Amino acid sequence: MQNYPAPAQALVAEMTAACEADTARAVAFQGAPGANSHIAALEAFPNCLPLPCFSFEDALDAVRDFRADCAVIPIENSLHGRVADMHFLLPESGLVITGEHFLHIRHTLMALPDHGEIREVMSHPQALGQCRHWLRAHGMAAVAYPDTAGAAAAVAEAGDGSMAALAPSIAAALYGLKVVEDNVADAADNTTRFVVLAREGREIAPDAGPVMTTFIFEVKNIPAALYKALGGFATNGVNMTKLESYQRGASFAATEFFADIEGHPDDPHVRRALEELAFHTKWVRLLGTYPRARERGFGG
C-alpha cells in the first residue's frame, strides 16, 4: 500500500477490501486504479472485482496465494513491442494462460487544474514509448513510472504545475486532474494484448472453436537449430503468429523463444508439429491453450 502515491491509497484499500471479501470474483492487475490494466480487467470480466497490485510480481503472487481468481497482464503492444520482463515472469510464475484480451489504448495528457507550461510527462515506459514522437515534438521530457494511473496520482500528489501524466482519461477524474490533450499517441491503431493467467487451465475441446496455444522452448546450440525446430510447423500447416527470442542469464549461449500458434495441441497436425519441435530442441514447455480473441493476419 505504501508504494502507491497518497491520492491512490484510499481507492486501493477500498478495492482490496472488496476482493478479500469475495476472492472468487477478484481479478488482479498491475497498477493503480484507473490504469489500462484496470480497464482491461473490467472489459474481460465485467462482473469482476479488480484487485490493484503495485508490480507484475504482486499480481502473479495474488493469484498463486488464492487472493485472486486470475490476473489480467499486458504482454505486448502494437507500437512498442513486448512488455518488459513478462517473458521471464510468465514461465516462472507457474500459472497458466487461460485467455487473451485486446484493448485499444487511448492515452490522455493530464495535469493539475492550475498547471503552467508542461515540461515533464510521467507514465509507464510502455506508454512513454508509444508517444515518444509526440512528446519530442512538444518539447516534453519523459519520466518513467511503474504504471500510468499511478503516474497520474503522483502528479496530483507532487503539486508541480510543470509536470503532467499520460494515463487513461478515467484517471483524471479519479485524482482530480485536468485533461490537457485527448488521444495522445504516435499512431491511431495503438492496441495492447493482455493474457489471463490462472492457477489451472480451463478444459477446451479441440473442436470448440479457434484457439491459441502459447509455449516457450530452447534451441540446441548447433547450426540451423531454429530452422530445424520450426520446420514441423510449416510442413504440418500450423500458423505461427508470434515468435520472439530472449536470453536468460549472462552466457549468451542459450537462446529461448516465446511463441504463439493457432490450434489445439490435440489437433493431429499441431501435435505432429510440437513433436518435431521437441525432437530438435532442448526442451518445450506449454504455457496454455485458450480461446482466440482476435483473428490474426490481414484484417485481424
Cell numbers found for residue 298: 490481414
Catalytic residue among 16, 98, 148, 192: 192
The residues, any chain, with a CB within 8 Å of residue 182's CB and separated by 6 or more, are 106, 108, 169
Mark whether 194 is an active-site residue.
yes
Q: Are 219 and 263 in contact (CB under 8 A)?
A: no
Please, which residues have CB within 8 angstroms of residue 267's CB and are 6 or more apart in sequence? Answer: 206
Name the nearest CA neighbour of 183 among 272, 108, 268: 108
Tell me the C-alpha distance between 43 and 39, whole Å.
6
Q: Which of 29, 45, 194, 233 is catalytic?
A: 194
Q: Which residue has the cell 489451472?
A: 200
Per the structure block, which three cell numbers stand in for 123?
A: 507514465
Q: Check if 215 is active-site.
A: no
C-alpha cell at 151: 503516474
Which residue intervals of 47-85 are DSSP H helices? 56-64
Does residue 79 contact residue 132 with C-beta atoms inside 8 Å? no
3-state SS string over 172-184? HHHHCCEEEEEEE
Closest residue by Cα to residue 35 from 115, 161, 142, 123: 123
Other C-beta atoms within 10 Å of 285: how many? 11
Supply the residues annotated as catalytic: 192, 194
